Structure 1
């Protein structure tokens, strides 16, 4: 069965995570596609900062592997994430049902929520966020079921997606590996992206909570197009050009 480009690139990343380096020849054999197609894939993935091209293949870009671990991501830009979380918290009202993805920025928001006395239902694909909120008597926590991969703190795949049919989600808060007006919100993990797409479909409002460094970058798989995003929250002033584009697309910027 023919793979989509996003699936192919996710497989390439998985092989790179396992081996550290790959050649175009072994990718062609493993994925059953032409070397020309793979060279195009590798070029686009390098532009997205996912890997570094070498003669005849590719290696992980500096820090790519480490940056993907949740504990590393959680510790990066802590103050910025707290600022984003505080702004995001302003959008939440008592007795709402909100959805948090498995990002470290969503975890910062979960911690902010836990300090409040609001009565909420929180649906999440993030194991850490669920653990953060589970002992708060004012909060009902629903953890979306699915696969937990080795070293991950997120639920992946669509095994438990049917649970979303039984709740009315007022607001989804989600981060991403990148955002551009053309592509929307993108991430590198195809299986996590599949679940996020379902979450977006079922949410009345989608709020992107992304640090400034992700804006203007793109990753391998789209999970929310620009017209599906209602609010974008970032810790730094967005460029006038980007701000105008966002406003043209009816996105509120905070």
Structure 2
């Protein structure tokens, strides 16, 4: 098990952890009924923090930020000698956490995505984990929260008996949601990115060799060029440029301190 704490990657604090340590931290928080926020960041997630300092401060307040993309794992190894042999990929981490929840009888709440996606996701998860208890399923409303709505969402989740919330709203909406809801819930919130779409069978998984060499972005770009071209064509070079500057000490990437400031509104 590797759990070496938070390390500075372009000013975003990413945890040098492996799957075993990440699963253990999430499940322990669920068992102990503790607030806990996790996100798995690839290049896009890191660069969203770099370009948005208030969001960076929110990310730095998360209990656990895993290196979802290979370039983020490489950065941890290059900058901090983290010794990570593999990334901690959101969709895979999701399955490993769900496996443990099924074994321990911890009910799970699914929040986000669309009704058609959730209609495919739920039976897929039930096939993979017959003992899994799904406490509730709630699609995204694709709008900002209204006054008092955060408390209403938290009440629904608590009333369901859930001990873990999986949040699938896309980056950065899911991180903002998890940040806003963390003070209201005594359970972990996991921002899991495209895990809902992958496990519902709506996105094809890239070949293992592309994942190993960090070319998953090219696969995703080929599947959704109109939606993703700006993310990859613009952000990937910017990430590499800043990483090189940080490594050569030409740029001091100073992480903003974690924040606990409440948000007046957030995406739901």
TM-score by length of 2: 0.28
Greater percentage in strand: 1
Greater percentage in helix: 2
